[in-house]
Amino acid sequence: MMRPTAELVREAQSDDRAAFAELVQRYQRAVLSTAWSVLHDYHSAQDVAQESFFQAYCNLGSLRDVRAFSSWLLTLTRREAIKRSRKIRVTVAIESVPENAISTVLSTWNEPFEDLVKSVGRLPEHELEVVVFHYIDAYSVAEVAELTGRPVGTVTKQLSRAISRLREWLAEVHK
């Protein structure tokens, strides 16, 4: 049986590093997806994810409501990604980019899913969290409810709303 996130957060606040490691493992994809949705660069997103977890570890004692951990962490990640995006704006003359480099970039793994990933990154934190847990990490709805400390009905409703939003946003993109 999986331990609820709130329990892990309380243990991590008491300097239990194993509990924090479990939180990192549990939230790494959600954090990486959130960072990528802002930066659109995998390596920069990895850097932001690492920095976000470091900041979360250092500031975990300031988190008063342990049930708010996921939204707190994803908000921290989004802020860090925005801060990073302002620092890494680089302009390259198109003439200086080799022609084959453009086709290489276009054939990357994420191109077919870029619109979807961008849209997922736009979801409110509570919906992003359940979508990542359920569809990316393959947890059942009951397991997502247990992980987040929410009722099963709430998780089901959040997943449904998230899917509706994603369908609407993707339909707009592909008009």
pLDDT (tens digit per residue) in 41-99: 889 999 999 999 999 999 999 999 998 898 899 889 989 998 888 876 554 454 554 55
In CATH, which of 3.30.460.30, 3.40.50.300, 3.40.640.10, 1.10.1740.10 is domain 5-173? 1.10.1740.10
pLDDT (tens digit per residue) in 5-28: 999 999 999 999 999 999 999 999
Confidence of residue 33 (pLDDT cuts 50, 70, 90): confident
Q: Is 77 exposed, middle or buried (0-12, 13-18, 19+ CB in 10 A)?
A: buried
Lowest mean pLDDT among 9-13, 90-94, 135-139, 156-160: 90-94
Q: What is the pTM of this model?
A: 0.64
Q: Which amino acid is at 125?
A: E
Query: Taking 90 as the threshold, does the pLDDT of residue 146 lie above it?
Result: no
SS3 164: helix
Of 121, 127, 116, the residue nearest 174 (C-alpha): 116
Of 41, 66, 87, the residue nearest 148 (C-alpha): 66
